[in-house]
Amino acid sequence: APSSELRKWFSHDPNKWDIFIKRYREELEKKPNLKDFIDILRERLENGDVIFLYASRERSFNNAVALKKIIEEIMLDH
């Protein structure tokens, strides 16, 4: 999940979406276990779907949608 600071700043404002994605990716890339997480996702995707859950009422601009986008970008980059 993004940091509390980033989530509060974003506040599900569609106008901040692109910057939110960029900042969220920067946060994820600082995590030492990101590569392991990506490897696990790749393995799981070979056997079926992976589901990201979210608690927001906002369907288009939420943490799960952002995480999916970021993970797809990272997988394409590597």
For 39-73, the pLDDT digits (tens) are 999 999 999 999 999 998 989 999 999 999 999 99
Range of the domain at 9: 4-77
Q: Is 32 helix (H, G, I), strand (E, B) or coil?
A: coil
Half-sphere exposure of 61 (CA within 13 A, CB side): 12
Rounded Cα–Cα distance for residues 54 and 29 (Å) = 21
Rounded Cα–Cα distance for residues 58 and 48 (Å) = 26
pTM value surpassing 0.85 = yes
pLDDT for the residue 4: 95
| Mean pLDDT score, 21-31 | 96
Q: Give the number of domains in the chain.
A: 1
| Mean pLDDT score, 22-39 | 95
* Band (13; pLDDT cuts 50, 70, 90): very high
Q: Is 39 helix (H, G, I), strand (E, B) or coil?
A: helix
